[in-house]
């Protein structure tokens, strides 16, 4: 192993230690007034209860999944198809099952620890807000960063660890074989992410919608009022969805895309080896190393999260983001220069590494572009949100129509930006002159992989900003509950507004990375299929050919593509409906408490918050099963019925369709949310210039839009991110099943 690859475990461990340091730092902070502590404890208890039940369920599902995967692979990966013949049958089944379990366990661990810190940071953020804005930002950001660092570090260490273990200890597994053998890790991560995001997404929005409907609409008490038994569930939900859910989502992204990039690196490895370049393995290790440097850049950036009391808190966070990005560009240059050592080969006028450096920069630039696209479409200062607010004047119907139009519109820049990024990084990569023994250029696809890795360098920081969201949201709830001083609430309100933006940005980032990675994961699937078919041909099979094209003009591929496009809608339909059903359980319980505990309304009786949390948890976990099963079963059925080429078409068009629909749901939901906030802030005026604020019909219309957007942007949209990556990992792992 080259010296530079040691940076992987070093950076991974450093990030874990840094996360522990941040966690300690946060925990040592002031917890505020006794009232704050009491509310914080209630939220924490609810969250702990959810985490315990949720991860027990997911753990059991993952165990069952591992056994099934192990059996299936053990049966279908026979000596005829296995890459390492000595591992054919049960051994490869066991290795895959272990990789799956390790992936699942790492994802679960990062989710659990992140939640642990997140639900302890909220009360400390509220306490800090009593004295300082910057202090509160730092507590919330550090609490969020614990999640961010752990997710990325565990994903990095996990992939590196299982790769190194298999490569070192399993006979026959060299660097070229190992990336294929560890794909189970990505599948395990996807599997956990699917249920974490679905369960969390259903929980959070059911609690939100349910408690609002019964509290605000029926009982006529304000949002976040302590008399509403569903309010704690709502506060717990913020952590569950945005911290644990999005964490699992990006854990999966980094893991799966890392492994996919390593698979593509195998082709580059072969070229480097035959060209006699130094350290051909570097092409396979490159994704790990680049991510390690991304982690280091983020650690440095955390020290730049500072500013003045009078500043817009978003600027404070942006400062850190830009430091991460700029350091990442520098690191990208260094790593490509050192690792892509081609003994001085010049291709198209430039050294090989320069082409890939630019491809990586394309990825980093794409993430910046998406951050700004999301802001344009979901922040109140621009045309889309203002348009929705204006439409609210004529009632809820025009609000919804306008929001839908905005949501649909956002696909335009999204598709164009992704298209440009893919074509640019592919072109840059193809200029590097990596041509394999069969005369095919492999540099283009590797260029898209480098771009994806470049984009993922900033994941830890983005995720920290994301978890900043639920922490500040909760801090606001704590301040409200504990009837904190006005200036404290003012600060928590400002942070909450920033948190809304950062949560939206993370979704844009997650979508962009999923799209950019689609092409790479798809190519990895084709590599895997051709590895299997190549082995079959080598071992005497004559009725099969290498997959050189995924032909949409083939009726099976076309129908599979149609089903892929449908899946995004159908899955979303199930997820949205699950929110409705879960919300019903909450409504029934809160109504019961109002009825049977008459002291609640005059504050003489404390509502049974824990019972609502428990009921919501159980309902959410029950309701996540149907969409989860559909997500897992559809690719398998398509593969069994229509074959491996059709699966590729299914995967591609399913990904495109999922990305587009997620864009619509995330941005439409975000825009509705902020149109409501725009009106609440007094920005909407009638023809005579009077402010149309809270308690006007326009505001009521905007509340309808916000409620509609909730399950779109926090349940269905984020679950679609996970779905598209799950499709990629499941087909990658089960490829041997589809080739007959």
Sites for a second copy among residues 360-399 (CB under 8 A):
391, 394-398
Q: Which of residues 415 and 625 has its CB atom nearest to a second copy in the complex?
A: 415
Number of residues that bind a second copy (CB under 8 A): 77
Q: Which of 153, 656, 684, 692 binds a second copy (CB under 8 A)?
A: 656
Should residue 639 be labelled a site residue for a second copy when binding is judged by CB under 8 A? Answer: no
Candidates 121-129, 271-279, 614-622, 652-660: pick the segment binding a second copy (CB under 8 A): 652-660
Minimum distance from CB of 572 to a second copy (Å)?
Answer: 5
649 contacts a second copy (rule: CB under 8 A): yes
CA-closest candidate to residue 468, choices 78, 71, 136, 28: 136
Shortest separation between residue 391's beta carbon and a second copy, angstroms: 7
Q: 101 near 66, Cβ under 8 Å?
A: yes
Instruction: Give CB contacts under 8 A, 24+ apart, made by 54-61.
Output: 54/195, 54/196, 54/199, 54/200, 54/240, 54/244, 54/617, 54/621, 55/108, 55/111, 55/112, 57/195, 57/199, 57/621, 58/104, 58/108, 58/192, 58/195, 58/196, 58/199, 59/104, 59/108, 61/191, 61/195
Q: Which stretch binds a second copy (CB under 8 A): 59-67, 260-268, 486-494, 555-563?
A: 555-563
Element (H, E) at 250: helix 246-275
Q: Which residues make Cβ contacts (< 8 Å) with residue 16, sequence separation at least 6?
A: 149, 150, 153, 154, 157
Please list every residue from 396 through 415 that binds a second copy, using CB under 8 A. 396-398, 400-402, 404-409, 411-412, 414-415
| Least distance in angstroms from the C-beta of 365 to a second copy | 17
Question: Which C-beta is closer to a second copy: that of 113 or that of 524?
Answer: 524
Instruction: Please select the residue that binds a second copy; options are 14, 368, 566, 626, rule is CB under 8 A.
Output: 566
Binding positions for a second copy, 456-495, rule CB under 8 A: none
Contact region with a second copy (CB under 8 A), list: 42-50, 568-576, 603-611, 731-739:
568-576
Question: In three state form, how does the secondary structure of 482-523 look?
Answer: CCCCHHHHHHHHHHHHHHHHHHHHHHHHHHHHHHHHHHHHHH
Closer to a second copy by CB, 320 or 639: give it: 639
Query: Looking at beta carbons only, is 319 or 386 nearer to a second copy?
Result: 386
Q: Does 629 bind a second copy (CB under 8 A)?
A: no
Closest CB 526 distance from a second copy, rounded Å: 6
Distance CA 681, CA 380 (A): 10
Calpha distance 23→256 (Å, rounded): 27
**Least distance between a second copy and beta carbon 400 (Å):** 5
Binding mask 304-343 for a second copy (x = CB under 8 A): ----------------------------------------
Q: What is the token pair recorded at 262?
A: 């390593």
Query: Which region, judged by CB under 8 A, interacts with a second copy, from 150-158, 361-369, 656-664, 719-727?
Result: 656-664
For the chain, the first-to-last Cα distance in angstroms comes to 38
Shortest distance, CB of residue 499 to a second copy, whole angstroms?
Answer: 23
Comparing C-alpha atoms, which of 269, 442, 425, 292 is closest to residue 342?
Answer: 269
Residue 341 token pair = 């050592």
* Residue 110 or 430 with smaller CB distance to a second copy: 430
Q: How far is the CB of 359 from a second copy (least distance, A)?
A: 13
Is position 435 an interface residue for a second copy (rule: CB under 8 A)? Answer: no
HEC string for 254-289: HHHHHHHHHHHHHHHHHHHHHHCCCCCCHHHHHHHH
Per rule CB under 8 A, is residue 37 in the interface with a second copy? no
695-714 positions binding a second copy, by CB under 8 A: 703-704, 707-708, 711-712
The residue range among 133-141, 332-340, 506-514, 554-562 that interacts with a second copy, by the rule CB under 8 A, is 554-562
Shortest distance (Å) from residue 27 CB to a second copy? 39
**626 binds a second copy, rule: CB under 8 A:** no
CB of 674 to a second copy, least distance (A): 17
Question: Rounded CA gap, 76 and 95, in Å?
Answer: 14
Residue span 234-273 as binding mask against a second copy, x where in contact by CB under 8 A, dash where not: ----------------------------------------
Q: Write each residue from 215 to 234 as x if it is in contact with a second copy (CB under 8 A), else as -, in one continuous string.
A: --x-----------------
- In the structure encoding, which two tokens stand for residue 376, read together? 């344009």
Least distance between a second copy and beta carbon 515 (Å):
8
Run of H or E including 347 = strand 346-347
> Nearer to a second copy by C-beta: 239 or 707?
707
Chain centroid to Cα 143, Å, comes to 18
Residues 523-542 close enough to bind a second copy by CB under 8 A: 523, 526
Q: Which residues contact 22 (CB under 8 A, 6 or more apart)?
A: 142, 143, 145, 146, 149, 302
Which of 327, 220, 739 minimizes the C-alpha distance to 526? 739
Q: Which of 131, 132, 440, 573 binds a second copy (CB under 8 A)?
A: 573
Least distance (Å) from a second copy to the CB of residue 144?
30
Q: Binding of a second copy at residue 558 (CB under 8 A)? A: yes
With the C-alpha atoms ordered 688, 691, 697, 700, is the resulting torsion angle positive or negative?
positive
Candidate ranges 30-38, 304-312, 344-352, 573-581; the one touching a second copy (CB under 8 A): 573-581
Three-state DSSP class for residue 39: helix
**Cβ 730 to a second copy, closest distance in Å?**
18
The three-state secondary structure class of 435 is strand
Closest CA to 309 of 469, 136, 461: 136
Binding mask 496-515 for a second copy (x = CB under 8 A): -------------------x
**Does 644 sit near a second copy (CB under 8 A)?**
no
Q: Could you give the CA distance from residue 332 to residue 345 in angstroms, rounded to a whole number?
A: 19
Identity of the residue, 286 or 522, whose beta carbon is nearer to a second copy in the bound complex? 522
Question: What does the buried/exposed string (b/e) look like for 401-437 if buried means 16 or more CB atoms within 10 Å of the residue's CB?
Answer: ebbbebbebbbebbeebbeebbebbbbbbbbbbbeee
> CA 549 to CA 644: how far, in whole Å?
12
């Amino acid at each position: 192993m080259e010296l530079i690859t040691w940076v992987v475990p070093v950076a991974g461990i450093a990030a874990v230690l840094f996360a522990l340091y941040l966690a300690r730092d946060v925990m040592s902070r002031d917890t505020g007034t006794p009232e704050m502590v009491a509310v914080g404890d209630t939220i924490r208890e609810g969250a702990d209860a959810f985490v315990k039940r949720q991860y027990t369920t997911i753990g059991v599902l993952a165990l069952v999944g591992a056994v099934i995967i192990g059996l299936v692979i053990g049966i279908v990966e026979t000596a005829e198809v296995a890459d390492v013949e000595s591992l054919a049958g049960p051994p490869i089944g066991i290795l895959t099952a272990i990789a799956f379990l390790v992936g699942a366990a790492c994802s679960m661990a990062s989710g659990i620890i992140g939640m642990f810190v997140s639900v302890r940071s909220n009360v400390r953020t509220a306490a800090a807000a009593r004295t300082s804005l910057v202090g509160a930002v730092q507590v919330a950001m550090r609490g969020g960063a614990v999640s961010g660092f752990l997710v990325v570090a565990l994903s990095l260490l996990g992939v590196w660890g299982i790769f190194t273990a298999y490569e070192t200890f399993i006979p026959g597994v060299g660097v070229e074989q190992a990336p294929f053998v560890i794909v189970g890790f990505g599948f395990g991560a996807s599997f956990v992410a699917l249920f974490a995001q679905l369960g969390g997404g259903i929980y959070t929005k059911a609690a939100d919608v349910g408690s609002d409907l019964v509290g605000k609409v029926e009982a006529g008490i304000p949002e976040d009022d302590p008399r509403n038994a569903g309010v704690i569930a709502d506060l717990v939900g913020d952590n569950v969805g945005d911290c644990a859910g999005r964490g699992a989502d990006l854990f999966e992204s980094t893991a799966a895309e890392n492994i996919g990039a390593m698979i593509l690196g195998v082709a580059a490895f072969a070229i480097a080896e035959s060209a006699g370049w130094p350290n051909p393995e570097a092409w396979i290790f490159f994704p790990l190393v680049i991510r390690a440097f991304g982690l280091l850049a983020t650690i440095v950036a955390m020290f730049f999260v500072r500013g003045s009391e009078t500043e817009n808190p978003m600027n404070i966070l942006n400062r850190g983001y830009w430091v991460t990005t700029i350091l990442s560009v520098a690191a990208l240059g260094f790593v490509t220069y050192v690792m892509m050592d081609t003994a001085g080969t010049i291709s198209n006028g430039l050294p090989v590494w320069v082409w890939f450096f630019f491809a990586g920069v394309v990825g980093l630039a794409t993430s910046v572009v998406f951050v700004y696209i999301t802001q344009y479409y979901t922040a109140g200062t621009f045309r889309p949100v203002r348009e929705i607010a204006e439409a609210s004047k004529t009632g809820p119907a025009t609000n919804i129509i306008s929001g839908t139009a905005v949501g649909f519109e956002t696909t335009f820049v999204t598709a164009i930006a992704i298209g440009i990024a893919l074509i640019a990084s592919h072109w840059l990569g193809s200029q590097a002159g990596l041509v394999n023994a069969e005369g095919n250029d492999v540099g283009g696809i590797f260029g898209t992989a480098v771009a994806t890795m470049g984009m993922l360098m900033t994941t830890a920081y983005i995720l920290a900003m994301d978890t900043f969201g639920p922490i500040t949201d909760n801090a606001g709830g704590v301040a409200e509950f504990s009837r904190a001083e006005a200036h404290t609430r003012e600060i928590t309100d400002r942070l909450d507004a920033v948190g809304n933006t950062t949560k939206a940005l993370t979704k844009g980032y997650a979508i962009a990375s999923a799209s950019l990675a689609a092409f790479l994961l798809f190519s990895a699937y084709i590599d895997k299929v051709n590895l299997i078919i190549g082995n079959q041909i080598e071992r005497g099979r004559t009725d099969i050919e290498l997959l050189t094209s995924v032909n949409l003009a083939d009726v099976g591929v076309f129908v599979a593509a149609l089903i892929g496009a449908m899946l995004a809608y159908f899955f979303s339909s199930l997820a949205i409906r699950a929110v409705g059903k879960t919300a019903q359980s909450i409504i029934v319980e809160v109504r019961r408490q109002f009825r049977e505990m008459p002291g609640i309304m005059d504050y003489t009786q404390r509502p049974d918050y824990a019972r609502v949390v428990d009921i919501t948890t159980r309902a959410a976990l029950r309701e996540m099963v149907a969409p989860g099963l559909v997500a897992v079963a559809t690719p398998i059925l398509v593969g069994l019925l229509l074959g491996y080429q059709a699966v590729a078409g299914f995967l591609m068009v399913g990904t495109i369709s999922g990305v587009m629909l997620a864009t619509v749901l995330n941005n439409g939901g975000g825009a509705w949310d902020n149109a409501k906030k725009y009106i609440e802030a007094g920005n909407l005026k009638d023809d005579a210039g009077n402010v149309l604020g809270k308690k006007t019909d326009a505001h009521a219309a905007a509340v309808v839009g916000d409620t509609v957007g909730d399950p779109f942007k926090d349940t269905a949209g984020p679950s679609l991110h996970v779905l598209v990556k799950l499709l990629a990992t499941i087909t990658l792992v089960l490829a041997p099943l589809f080739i007959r």
